[in-house]
Amino acid sequence: MSSKSNNSSKKNTVKGRAGIISRKPRETEAEKLAKQEAAIKEANAVAAKDPVYQGKSKLQVKTGDIIMALLGSLISAYATVAIMVPDGLTYGGTIGIARMLQNYVNISLSAITYIFAAIILIVCWITLGFKEVKKIVLLSLAYPVFMTIFEMLDVKFLESHDVFLAAVFLGVTFGISNGLTFKAGFSSGGTDTIAKIIKIKKLPHVGINDITFVINTAIVIVSALVFDVNVALYAIVTMYIAMRVGEAVMFGVGDKIVELNIITERPDSVGEYVMNELGRGVTSSEITGEYTGEKHKMLKVICSPRESFLIKRYLAEHDPQAFVSIFRVNTVWGVGRGFSDIRNMDN
């Protein structure tokens, strides 16, 4: 055997205890790129044929969503028992009301939460029907159960009783919890459900987000009277952090405003949903598909990332074949939530 052959053999083999092991040739950049392109092509083909489940079974998707929602509920329950209660903090929503009631009655926080959950479930069933109850029943029952377990274990997150640090970590954990449960398509059955009932029965022209904001603001103001102003201010810090972290969990770190261009077979119902349920404006224009020559109505919506996720959920349920392009928007001058005042030259 020639010297050149011996060198080639040494390059492709390595000696070990078990003998000589062949080395695999290193994958080139072109081969890596080809594999990535093939994977993307396959994923796109699956998504085109099955836009809702994308190759997974319905059971797999639902199981994954349930596990994600339960994990979010577990994190929230831990934060409530291990951070909120020991450090004397509060929050918006029904848990904020429960904290205030606990200040006057000798009942565990989990028991009060159970009572609230049962009341909201019954009222929701009567006013909105069983379809809405299905969205909140899982977490309405799981959250107090997890709270009871953590109360029995007497868990604590911080031993130093640094209230500001506790408020920050409470916001982070609640944000992670909210992001996971919302991403899974579930609701905790709190103030968002109450807001939906109020909207449908009393204030049909007011957005759910606006009603929820008013309710939570009222709860924080009352908590300042029940506890003290500092506790209420810490609650505002916690809620702001939870909102930001929740959006980061759902969408990653991105801009606060996005633009959606939606091509759907149901433009009227989608437009009504965006305007009536989210309180956002919609602009429509007629477009023509050059390949088919068919005319369609395209909807343009400028909203927050959280609202874009709601629109995505709506389309997935009512028109999974819809085509949506999303653009990050640096800033918007105009009237609307998250928009900048056109008179402010600093924007």
| Helices assigned H by DSSP within 154-228 | 163-183, 191-201, 208-226
More reliable by pLDDT, 45 or 37: 45
Spatial CA neighbour of 83 closest among 226, 234, 284: 234
Architecture of domain 257-329: 2-Layer Sandwich (3.30)
Q: Which residues contact 138 (CB under 8 A, 6 or more apart)?
A: 66, 69, 70, 186
Burial of 344 (0-12, 13-18, 19+ CB in 10 A): exposed
pLDDT of 109 higher than 70: yes
- Cβ burial of 99 (10 Å; 0-12, 13-18, 19+) is buried
H-only helix segments in the chain: 3-12, 29-49, 58-79, 93-102, 109-128, 130-153, 163-183, 191-201, 208-226, 229-251, 267-272, 305-318
pLDDT in tens, 175-225: 999 888 888 878 777 888 888 888 888 888 887 778 888 898 899 999 999
Q: Could you tell me if 158 and 89 are in contact, meaning their C-beta atoms sit under 8 angstroms apart?
A: no
Where is average pLDDT lowest: 36-40, 80-84, 232-236?
36-40
CB-based contacts of 177, cutoff 8 Å, min separation 6 = 72, 73, 75, 76, 79
Domain range list for the chain: 58-251, 257-329
Kindly report the average pLDDT of the chain as a whole number: 81
